């Protein structure tokens, strides 16, 4: 099978984007894993599949989206991935449009094109109830106590259609992100795994962040993770409504508006290609 694809990156998150708007494309878990391999395939954090647009209410069209981690598992959210798809549609499929509705499962996400090749997506409102995250805790807490290597960490737990654990640290470089992330993903408290964000508070408008994504490992960025970090910062009354999230080599902007948390930043097409499976 021959697959045409576009390689894109958004704030360091890299994606394989596959346009299935003209005909359906089905990939197995092993095929997705192969495509995502940085040694044997194209290489990516997530693979994004765009389906044919469907009519929803008020004569609006939405694009159904499938999101797969590099291990082949399907997930329900990827903020930077949705921004990459908006850029792909605006520059390839519907070049006259500047706003799109993207649908993942039963959730619809509005996107918009901004200046300087920036794209934004509304990820909606955070979910705090443990059973909806999901996390096996009896009740919602301001801070959850998570033990690791004879130390208890205070963490925020929240979902933006995928689960996140947020921890404030004094030093991003010294925090054992990968080791702790792997431990959390083997913890029965998190039946579907969890993404881990460690953040450093710089001022009320700025944070620095590292992220461990379930099914991927440490990545250069995570859009929904940036929103999760800022949402927890709001819960703890640390942050303003508009926050710059500094990552390894890029920045994201998270802004709380009346209709939800908006994520924005740059998107870039890296290359296009064809691969045979």
Residues annotated as part of the active site: 78, 222
Measure the CA–CA gap between 236 and 144, rounded to whole angstroms.
Answer: 13
Q: What is the DSSP string of 201-226?
A: EEETTEEEEEEEETTTEEES--HHHH
Torsion angle, CA of 185/187/192/193, rounded to 10 degrees?
A: -20
Tokens of 276: 């045979």
Q: Pick from 73, 65, 25: which is nearest to 45 by CA? A: 73
CB 245 within 8 A of CB 226: yes
Measure the CA–CA gap between 77 and 102, rounded to whole angstroms.
Answer: 11
Q: Pick from 191, 162, 170: which is nearest to 77 by CA? A: 162
Measure the CA–CA gap between 16 and 160, rounded to whole angstroms.
Answer: 22
Burial class (CB in 10 A: 0-12, 13-18, 19+), 90: buried
Measure the CA–CA gap between 73 and 94, rounded to whole angstroms.
Answer: 29
Q: What angle do CA 110, 79, 82 make, to 5 degrees?
A: 55
Measure the CA–CA gap between 80 and 249, rounded to whole angstroms.
Answer: 15
């Amino acid at each position: 099978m021959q697959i045409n694809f576009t390689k894109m990156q958004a704030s360091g998150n890299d994606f394989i984007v596959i346009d299935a708007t003209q005909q359906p494309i089905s990939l197995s878990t092993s095929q997705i894993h192969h495509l995502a391999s940085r040694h044997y395939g194209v290489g990516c954090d997530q693979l994004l599949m765009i389906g044919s647009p469907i009519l929803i209410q008020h004569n609006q069209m939405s694009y159904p989206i499938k999101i797969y981690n590099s291990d082949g598992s399907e997930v329900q959210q990827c903020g930077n991935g949705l921004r990459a798809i908006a850029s792909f549609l605006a520059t390839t499929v519907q070049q006259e449009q500047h706003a799109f509705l993207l649908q993942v499962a039963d959730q619809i996400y509005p996107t918009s094109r901004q200046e300087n090749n920036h794209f934004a997506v509304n990820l909606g409102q955070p979910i705090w109830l443990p059973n909806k995250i999901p996390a096996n805790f009896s009740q919602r807490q301001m801070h959850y106590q998570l033990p690791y290597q004879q130390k208890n960490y205070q963490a925020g737990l929240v979902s933006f259609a995928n689960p996140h654990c947020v921890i404030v640290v004094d030093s991003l470089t010294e925090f054992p992100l990968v080791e702790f992330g792997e431990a959390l993903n083997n913890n029965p408290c998190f039946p579907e795994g969890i993404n881990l964000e460690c953040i450093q508070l710089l001022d009320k408008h700025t944070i620095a962040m590292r992220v461990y994504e379930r099914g991927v490992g440490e990545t250069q960025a995570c859009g929904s993770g940036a929103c999760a970090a800022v949402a927890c910062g709001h819960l703890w009354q640390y942050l303003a409504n508009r926050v710059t999230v500094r990552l390894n080599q890029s920045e994201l902007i998270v802004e709380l508006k009346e209709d939800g948390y908006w994520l924005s930043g740059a998107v870039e097409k890296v290359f296009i290609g064809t691969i045979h499976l």
